Amino acid sequence: MLTLQLLRVRTRNGAIFPLFCTKEEDIELAKKIIHEFEQTWKTKEKKAALEDRISTIEESDAGSDYKLVRGLYALLERRCTFKSSDSNSNGDIGTNNTVINPSIDPPRIRKEVFEESSKRGFALTELERREIADTVASKLHLPSHDVVLKTMWSDLDDNLIIEHFDTIGPEALVGWYNLSLMQTLLFNCTKLDFYISGGLNWKHVLRTVKRLGLMYHLQQPQQQQENRIICSLEGPLSLFKLTDRYGTLLAKLLPSIIFASNKSRDRDGGNGGNGKWHLDAWIVRKTMDGRKIFEFKISNNEIPQLLADPYLSFPRGFSTEKEEVAKSSSLYYDNNSFDSAVEEKFAKRFEQAETGWRLTREPDPLVLSNGGAFIPDFVFEKYDRKIYLEIVGFWTKEY
């Protein structure tokens, strides 16, 4: 996900759509920025030098877009671990993936320098400046005044050094950027309707919906040509006040909707569906005439070819909030696993019987009267008829 300031969209006739990267020029731009990160990491230059070269790319590339360049930069920055320019590799990890040398504390050095300077008055000469630094070095048991002068600003953002950069290919970076654009667009989403094919996909996406604390309602519109189940997501906060908290949760759900069908498409029995999905979102945007609501529609047929699976985009070994959200979502499940040994045994024996009926595990949900979902264990299909089977596991009244 990106910040709203870096969101690139187009609006027309009440509709809104992200400006995806689809051209060769976009891939070349991504390659340039990746190269700058790799060079900065190898040469151990300060972050300020990297910023200067990125600014040069913005100015030199005639077709470059500031938001695009900075968006790619922001994604690559998350794949870096930074350390202060005086740190060693044995330091602790601080905020923003910064390694801090435990033996030197720049904020404390600055505090001592300012306090000593206030006692003596302004240091108007190099000698007075050195005397203050010597006093602070002696007080903090540092080797010399040079250490004080060198490290007192070493923890500032411009003075950081890339300790490790988990590189990525330009196509993968552009794909990750395209996904991030859609997620960022959903920050100001007030309502989201989506359809996805396959009961197994529904099962895991709805599991993610519950984990994120979202409210959902299933329905089967009578006017639609296809027999599709629509899931509507809207929360109590959106009813009374426009808030980005709800939109952020929808953004976290988006990868589950887009990639779930791909994960289970090759599953035996065909219940992964054919990778079909569709979503319809209502986005609040500020305009010259005030806030307006735009509609964002996209499906598996309209998605750009360059779209990165978040599992492949996250750097290995990095523990970030976004990575934990992705790992705990519905994207990571075993397509060949059954909920129980009884189901697996039944499915194998039924296939061996060769009855002519097609057996599909976990078909599309059945919509309950309260708008909830019930996904049976199996469905038998033959002669344009469907017969559902649920293997009862618990003898309770509710079950």
Instruction: Write the pLDDT tens digit of every residue in 150-195.
Output: 777 666 777 788 888 888 889 989 999 999 999 999 888 888 999 8
The per-residue pLDDT for 269 is 39
The per-residue pLDDT for 16 is 92
Residue with tokens 């059954």: 338
| Predicted confidence (pLDDT) at residue 101 exceeds the cutoff of 70 | no
The per-residue pLDDT for 93 is 43
Q: Return the ∠ at Cα 102 (arms to 100 and 103), rounded to 5°.
A: 125
Q: Residues near 288 by Cβ (< 8 Å), separated by ≥ 6? A: none
Exposure of 167 by Cβ count < 10 A (0-12 exposed, 13-18 middle, 19+ buried)? middle
Terminal-to-terminal C-alpha distance of the chain: 40
How does residue 228 score in pLDDT terms, banded at 50, 70 and 90? confident
Percentage of the chain modeled with pLDDT above 90: 10
Instruction: Write the pLDDT tens digit of every residue in 302-346.
Output: 888 777 665 544 444 433 444 444 444 433 344 456 667 888 888
CB 332 within 8 A of CB 325: no
CB 194 within 8 A of CB 231: yes
Percentage of the chain modeled with pLDDT above 70: 76
Mean pLDDT over the full length of the chain: 76
CB 367 within 8 A of CB 229: yes
The per-residue pLDDT for 327 is 43
For 157, the 3-state DSSP assignment is helix
Residue 50 one-letter amino acid = L
CB 58 within 8 A of CB 69: yes
CB 178 within 8 A of CB 20: yes
Q: Which two tokens stand for residue 174?
A: 């552009």
How does residue 134 score in pLDDT terms, banded at 50, 70 and 90? confident
Lowest-confidence pick of 59-63, 267-271, 293-297, 359-363: 267-271
